[in-house]
Structure 1
Amino acid sequence: MLSPHELATLMLLNSHERRIESLDPDVLALRRYELVEVHELRGGVAALQISARGRDLLKRLGMDARRLNR
C-alpha cells in the first residue's frame, strides 16, 4: 500500500510539474514497488519515468496521463 506521500510523488511525476530527485525516499519506495524507473542520461544525469505498472495504477485512479495533458 502506498503512503500519501508516495502517491503524491507519483502524481507529481505524472504531471511533470517539477523535477524530483531520484534518491528522494518516496521515489525509492516507488522504485521498489516497480512504479517508477530511473534511466541514466548523458553526463550521469538520472531521468525518472513512470513504469507501465505505475501508469496502470494512475489510470485505475482516474489520473491517466493522456487525459491530464489535454
Structure 2
Amino acid sequence: MLSPHEIAALMLLETNQNSNNLDLEDLGALCERQLVSLEKLASGYAHVRLTPQGRSILRSVGRMR
C-alpha cells in the first residue's frame, strides 16, 4: 500500500516532473515499486518518469486525465 506522501509524490511528478523537492525515501519507495523510473542524463542529473504502473495508480485515484 502506498503512503499518502508517495501518492502525493506521484501527483507532483505527473504535473511537473520536478523531483527536487521530493523526499528521497518516497522516491526510493516509488522506484522500488516500479511506479517511477530514474533516467540518468549525460549532465549527471537524473530525470524521473512515471511508469505505466504509476500512471495506472493515478488513474485509479482519479488524478490523471
TM-score by length of 2: 0.86
Which whole-Å CA distance do the structure 2 matches of 1:38 and 1:4 have between them?
21
Deviation string for 1:10-39 (max 9, x for gaps)? Answer: 1110111x7214871100000011100000
Q: Which amino acid aligns with 2:37?
A: E
Which whole-Å CA distance do the structure 2 matches of 1:5 and 1:57 have between them?
14
The verdict on how the C-alpha distance between 1:43 and 1:23 changes in structure 2, with shifts beyond 3 A counting, is farther
Matches within 5 A, 1:1-70: 1-16=1-16, 19-21=18-20, 24-64=24-64, 67=65
SS in 2 for 1:25: helix
- Displacement over 3 Å in runs of 4+: none
Structure 1 unaligned spans of 5+: none
RMSD: 1.8
Percent identity, aligned pairs only, is 38
Q: CA deviation at 1:49?
A: 0.2
